[in-house]
């Protein structure tokens, strides 16, 4: 369980994280989404006690992270970029971390095997590909068999197989009852991995909801209609609640109406439909919509202030 309350971080005059409040619960994968520079890494560093908040607090399993006597038992973390010394082998990197809290040596071999780095464990980490570096980061996070896992952009640099591997790994950890908190800017990937999402933009909380809820609430589902007479169909469907746009020849994209409603209306007017497809909004669409809303929310206040 991670509890973030009123967390704020200022660097000089610039606000990186602005009054964030959210809770990450055990048992599900929670995605932490936001465009680059939104403050995800800063927030994670504050949770891990690496950066001190300007205001507010972050606790892990009930205590500030720094106060835990057995920290690697509480949290395993994959930090942004590579947080390993390039001259040291993966094995010795993990061994040194294990020794800080008396984790046995055989556990180091276990996590190396678990992430598939056995063949290169004795080679210097500086020669690793980005994907191998991420696997080493995952091994670091799993080392203490922690109750909470915090991963900053674990999907970066991974191929399709690696992404699938992480996805099943994270879901497995959550199924064991662990708290799993994963940041990413890859919205669609998060839709497949996470059950709950926390979205931030410009350091502020934009959304804190389940994936389905977020997609359903933020983006209206669209219907693609191809017909013999798109203009007549458009005139027929027009109403204040309905948005339409012409796509390629003869195709209309309609939002605000279901396929049933469109099909019935077309049949009644005698318009022949050649295609009628419901298009599920992707998380990416939802994300674009809610972040745009956050920007639009600011614009009128600015003009209002001028008046």
Partner 1 sequence: MTTMLDPAAPASPTATAPQRVTQARVVRSEWTKLRSLPSTAWSLLTTAVLVVGFGALYSMVRVTRPPRQPAGVASFDPTTISLSGVQLAQLAIGVLGVLLITGEYATGMARTSFVAVPRRLPVLWGKTTAFALTTLALCVPATFAAFLVGQSILAAEQLDTTLDHPGVARAVLGSALYLTAVGLLGLGLGGLLRNTAGAIASLFGVLFALQIIVGFLPETWSSQISRYLPAPAGIAITGVRPDPTSLGPWTGFGLFCLYTAIVLGLAAWQLRRRDA
The contact set with partner 1 (CB under 8 A) reads 45, 48-52, 65-66, 68-73, 75, 77, 79, 81-89, 92-93, 95-104, 107, 110-111, 113-116, 118, 124, 131-132, 135, 140, 142, 144-145, 161-162, 165, 168-169, 171-173, 175-176
- Report the C-alpha gap between 299 and 109 in whole angstroms: 55
Cβ distance to partner 1 smaller for residue 48 or 206: 48
Cβ distance to partner 1 smaller for residue 75 or 218: 75
- Report the C-alpha gap between 2 and 216 in whole angstroms: 26
**In angstroms, what is the minimal distance from the CB of 67 to partner 1?**
8
Cβ distance to partner 1 smaller for residue 136 or 262: 136
**In angstroms, what is the minimal distance from the CB of 6 to partner 1?**
19
**In angstroms, what is the minimal distance from the CB of 45 to partner 1?**
8
Cβ distance to partner 1 smaller for residue 131 or 217: 131
Burial class (CB in 10 A: 0-12, 13-18, 19+), 140: buried
CA angle 175, 181, 182 (to 5 degrees): 110
Cβ neighbours for 214, distance < 8 A, ≥ 6 positions apart: 197, 199, 207, 283, 286, 290
Cβ distance to partner 1 smaller for residue 103 or 233: 103
**In angstroms, what is the minimal distance from the CB of 234 to partner 1?**
48
- Report the C-alpha gap between 221 and 215 in whole angstroms: 9
- Report the C-alpha gap between 179 and 173 in whole angstroms: 8
Q: Residue 178, SS3?
A: coil
Beta-strand runs (E) in 134-291: 148-152, 179-184, 196-201, 204-210, 222-227, 243-246, 251-255, 273-279
Cβ distance to partner 1 smaller for residue 140 or 227: 140
**In angstroms, what is the minimal distance from the CB of 154 to partner 1?**
14
**In angstroms, what is the minimal distance from the CB of 182 to partner 1?**
15
């Amino acid at each position: 369980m991670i509890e973030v309350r009123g967390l704020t971080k200022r660097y000089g005059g610039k606000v990186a994280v602005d009054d964030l409040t959210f809770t990450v619960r055990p048992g599900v994968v929670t995605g932490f989404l936001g465009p680059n520079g939104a403050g995800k890494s800063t927030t994670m560093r504050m949770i891990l006690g690496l950066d001190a908040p300007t205001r507010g607090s972050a606790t892990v399993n009930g205590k500030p992270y720094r106060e835990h006597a057995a920290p690697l038992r509480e949290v395993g973390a994959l930090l942004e970029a590579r947080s390993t010394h390039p001259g040291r082998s993966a094995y010795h990197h993990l061994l040194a971390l294990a020794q800080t809290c008396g984790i046995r040596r055989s556990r180091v071999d276990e996590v190396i095997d678990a992430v598939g780095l056995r063949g290169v464990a004795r080679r210097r980490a500086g020669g690793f590909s980005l994907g191998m570096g991420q696997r080493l980061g995952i091994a670091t996070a799993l080392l203490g068999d922690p109750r909470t896992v915090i991963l900053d952009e674990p999907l970066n640099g991974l191929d399709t197989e690696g992404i699938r591997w992480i996805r099943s790994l994270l879901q497995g950890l959550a199924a064991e009852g662990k708290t799993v908190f994963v940041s990413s800017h890859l919205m669609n990937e998060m839709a497949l991995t996470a059950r709950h999402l926390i979205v931030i933009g410009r350091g502020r909380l934009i959304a804190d909801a389940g994936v389905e809820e977020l997609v359903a609430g933020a983006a209206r589902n669209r219907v693609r209609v191809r017909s013999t007479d798109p203009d007549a169909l458009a005139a027929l469907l027009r109403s204040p609640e309905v948005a339409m746009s012409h796509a390629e020849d003869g195709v209309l994209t309609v939002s605000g109406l279901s396929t049933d409603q469109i099909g019935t209306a077309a049949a009644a007017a005698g318009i022949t439909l050649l295609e009628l497809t419901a298009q599920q909004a992707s998380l990416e669409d939802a994300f674009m919509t809610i972040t745009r809303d956050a920007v639009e929310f600011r614009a009128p206040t600015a003009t209002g202030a001028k008046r």
